[in-house]
Amino acid sequence: MLSPMLLLRLFFAVTFSYVFAASGLVASAVCLILTVFLWPCARMTYRKIVCWIGYSILGQIVWVCRDWATLDIVLYGEDSAYEKFAKESALMICSHRGDLDWVAGLVVGAYYKALHAIRSLPKRSVLFVPGFGQICWALEFPFLKRNYAQDQETIAKISDIYNNYPYPIQVAIFCEGTRFTVEKHKLAVKFEQEKGLPVLNHHLAPRTKGFAVLAEHFKPGGKFTAVLDVGFAYRDWPGQNLPSFLDMLLGKKVTLLWYMRRIPMEDLPSGHEELQRFCYQLFQDKDKVYEYFLQNGVFPGPSRPLPPHTNTMWFVRLNTFFWAMVTCVVPALVMFCTLSWFTLGLLCAGGTLFNGLALAGLLKYAYGGDIPVDTPEVKKKTN
């Protein structure tokens, strides 16, 4: 039998899923209106408004992770990386250990006041996720088809757009393409051995061509000034499977270690093949850092907590409360008022049948279920 606490958490998970999806659809409709009327004449204004609309949707995920559940994030790495984070445009080359990696990116982005500026390169199938996919489209996420020739054109277009954004952009890239599992790692090791590449013990073989294309378009003379090497690790998590967002919805506690170092864009080599080798070397470095974690329980370098969160979290809380009102309370009030108006209309302007039925019901209630009927038999008994 399910405990009351588990039932409460399941109820919250279902309710939040509805609020998130419904708010995404409402926000998508607003973005569509802005696309029609504002995009043709004021693109920069459109981007600023849409980015804050996206913040309001993604901020609900941050609230779940920090207030409902407990996602503790400990930051490691160089001070210079965090001092400039969100103050410059950068490519974030991320490890992909579990389903919470991208969620951790949203939380860290929110605390560094960059949640509205985080972008990624999702699969085209994400575009068709109701609400969320349309918000990503409005935020100008480049949806990739996993076709090298076609994706090159998409990346070229999006690099021109991001280089002209009104504020710094953080483009998160998961070069491994999928989260780490033992089965996938075995296949990756086989591929590396066939290609004569150094074997990675804790990461999948990265797709270096995609990184090279991105770096070629973002490097020369643009506003992107750094590459951020980002790694993740989960500490003290029971069980073999790593935590997922469902664990956040169920209110569980997760401790995630975040490692980041900054590489200036001018330190990157030139040439497509050289950039591919640079990307693979980056993942060899990631492997060493994760090996250090396995041996010591922490990442190398000084640790630090997330920045002070007072204003950020209160904004996220009010934002989540607002969407709960819009998607739950307002529809309930509209339905109640509609039913009340319909019932009142029937009472005031209903036909003979409705009024007769209502009168019969009142008489039946008044006489305890027996309505007197004037028949000959009754008259004889009365006489």
Indicate whether 372 pLDDT > 60.
no
- Provide the pLDDT confidence category of residue 335 given band limits of 50, 70 and 90: confident
Residue 60 lies in a domain: no
- If asked whether residues 243 and 356 sit together in one domain, one would say no
Q: Please give the pLDDT value at position 177.
A: 86
| CATH number of residue 269's parent domain | 3.40.1130
Indicate whether 87 pLDDT > 50.
yes
User: In the chain, what percentage of residues exceed pLDDT 90?
Assistant: 55
Across 351-361, average pLDDT: 60
Domain finish residue from 248, 280, 307:
307
- If asked whether residues 242 and 122 sit together in one domain, one would say yes
The Cα 221–Cα 296 span in angstroms is 41
- Provide the pLDDT confidence category of residue 354 given band limits of 50, 70 and 90: low
Whole-number average pLDDT of the chain: 86
Interval 21-59: pLDDT, tens: 999 999 999 999 999 999 999 989 999 999 999 999 999
Domain finish residue from 251, 280, 307:
307
Q: Which two tokens stand for residue 108?
A: 């860290």
Residue type at 262 in one-letter notation: R
- If asked whether residues 133 and 267 sit together in one domain, one would say yes
- If asked whether residues 232 and 114 sit together in one domain, one would say yes
- If asked whether residues 103 and 232 sit together in one domain, one would say yes
Please give the full DSSP string across 2-21, using - where no structure is assigned: --HHHHHHHHHHHHHHHHHH
Residue 168 lies in a domain: yes
Residue 164 lies in a domain: yes
- Provide the pLDDT confidence category of residue 382 given band limits of 50, 70 and 90: very low
Contacts of 39-42 with C-beta under 8 Å, sequence gap 24+, read: none
Domain finish residue from 307, 342, 367:
307
Interval 163-206: pLDDT, tens: 888 889 999 999 998 888 889 999 999 999 999 999 999 999 99
Interval 55-70: pLDDT, tens: 999 999 999 999 999 9
Residue 32 lies in a domain: no
Residue 42 lies in a domain: no
- If asked whether residues 117 and 212 sit together in one domain, one would say yes
Tally of domains in the chain: 2
- If asked whether residues 89 and 175 sit together in one domain, one would say yes
- If asked whether residues 120 and 230 sit together in one domain, one would say yes
Residue with more model confidence, 281 or 165: 281
Residue 323 lies in a domain: no
- If asked whether residues 373 and 254 sit together in one domain, one would say no
Domain residues for the domain of 96 are 70-307
Residue 49 lies in a domain: no
Closest CA to 168 of 227, 93, 111, 224: 224
- If asked whether residues 235 and 367 sit together in one domain, one would say no
Indicate whether 306 pLDDT > 70.
yes
- Provide the pLDDT confidence category of residue 378 given band limits of 50, 70 and 90: very low
- If asked whether residues 95 and 172 sit together in one domain, one would say yes
Closest CA to 22 of 131, 134, 136, 137: 131
- If asked whether residues 273 and 358 sit together in one domain, one would say no
Residue 195 lies in a domain: yes
Indicate whether 344 pLDDT > 80.
no
Q: Which residues pair with 259 in a beta bridge?
A: 76, 231
